[in-house]
Chains A and B, each alone.
Chain A
């Protein structure tokens, strides 16, 4: 009887675990089935490198949006990575225990703020500041980068901090005993040793920036054109789907699913890279 119960519970958990994976499989199949016909029709090259997006006139080029996604993500990384890593070093190395006990939940709270709130805040505060101080319409690559940078901070900070804290004590003790200063120890010993964890955190953060939708719809301006400066509006792959899905039908809808395929592959690559890097570390 006991054995039976054991077996039964094992099976139930197995089925529940499978249902998670089957959700992934179902969604993946669905996206590809819906989107592939259009890519096949337009041609992969024309779809990815096409400059004109005008589904009602039969133009399906998403290159400006790929550039949009890359530029906004790059901007967010440029601001978010240094701040995030410095913050994690501070938390792991410098902060007294009491301060850490305030900082850590505060940063986790930052991750818990719904993205629509970030977007709204950006639209009401960041966008007008950019418009008044720097010119342009305000809705811009810069606005998106600043807000996404804040949004990816918690991911970068918590993963980097954990990987610095997880280093064996003797790394630090040895370095200090050899006469290195605290800063030299951090820069020459601890950061290189924790590199894989930090890189994984950064990549996961970037993955979040690439996939973010609500915020960028609100602050990027959604123009389908290559940006000439960081003050120009752009559209990302996610916004393209988010902004047009309500009205899309037929080929237009397929084209949005096809955009989803590109996005899906992009995020898969990022996540797999992060996995490989963390796995290499644990060997």
Chain B
């Protein structure tokens, strides 16, 4: 009997090791042919990159690019584990990640819109008011020229790129109140705000615009400036963050070709058409220059 148990245990172990290793192998190649460039990471960036990939496929049918979500941190981890060639991030690299010497490039800027229910009378908030609302120093809409209703604050989950951008740009050292409702995607925040008259939330600017089949939300002006591409470009609307491509080293080969496409005039035009602010124009107004060789 003892012998059986030993044989049994051994075979189970072998089986599980086999399974595990085949899982990992599957992951490494993403189930696609080995020349496929895998882009993984932020779910905020993902929809835009998917659109880029569609165009890229039309132009270069031989080059395959696969896009996966998972979140900014997961994207960076995927790059480090060499599961993905390129990581997408909707937040700046943190200290820990910077020390790893990762290569990164800004592909576009994305405004953050402060959104409320369309029936809400408030049109404008100052940066300070937004901060006070999210730290619950202001808890009633009447304190910011609205109706006498309690404010329901909606935030994103810890670790989200959108949340960390909001934390850096608006909150500074203040903490987002723990009592804030937490939703784990731009879409969920939008859905909730569109159905709750008392709610306030922050989402990617491109998603704040009216969309077919979805109830509308109202994007507030910040310090008197409306959240438009122009106002972000001129620097007057101050809530925006960069979308980054991240790689272990400066990409080469197929990955480099795709990155250059994204940074090319054509790629930037597509992103701009989807509501993002092109990185290259920011580059002209003082950011780091971006070269678009090979395209």
Q: Which residues of A contact B (CB under 8 A)?
A: 11, 14-15, 18-19, 22-23, 26, 52-57, 64, 128, 131, 136-139, 217, 221-225, 232-233, 235, 243-244, 246-250, 252
Contacts and interface: CB of A to CB of B under 8 A. Distances in A.
Interface residues of B, number: 41
Interface in B1-58: 4, 7-9, 11-13, 15-16, 43
A163 B183 CA distance: 42
A56 B159 CA distance: 7
Interface string B55-84: 000000000000001111110110000000
Given A233-B181, A249-B76, A53 B96 contact: no
A222 B181 contact: yes
A222 B16 contact: no
B158 A247 contact: yes
Contact of A137 (B7, B12, B152): B152
A212 B68 CA distance: 26
B145 interface: no
Contacts of B192: 139
B238 to A, nearest CB: 22
Interface of B: 4, 7-9, 11-13, 15-16, 43, 69-74, 76-77, 96, 152, 157-161, 164, 167, 175, 177-184, 192, 195-196, 198-199
Nearest to B94: A56
B162 to A, nearest CB: 10
B158 A26 contact: no
Contacts of A15: 8, 11-12
Contact of A22 (B4, B7, B16, B72): B16
A250 to B, nearest CB: 7
Contacts of B76: 249
B182 A222 contact: yes
Contacts of B158: 53-56, 244, 247, 252
A22 B12 contact: yes
Contacts of B15: 19
B16 A26 contact: yes
Contacts, number: 99
A138 B182 contact: no
A86 to B, nearest CB: 34
Given A222-B157, A224-B178, A233-B181, 4 more contacts: A14-B4, A18-B9, A22-B16, A247-B158
B72 to A, nearest CB: 6
A11 B4 contact: yes
Contacts of A19: 12, 15-16
A221 B181 contact: yes
B175 A54 contact: yes
B181 A249 contact: no
A217 B177 CA distance: 19
Nearest to A59: B175
Contacts of B159: 55-56, 244, 246-249, 252
Given A244-B157, A246-B74, A247-B73, A56 B164 contact: yes
B182 A247 contact: no
Contacts of A225: 177-179
Contacts of A139: 181, 192
Contacts of B180: 223
A10 B161 CA distance: 54
B73 A248 contact: yes
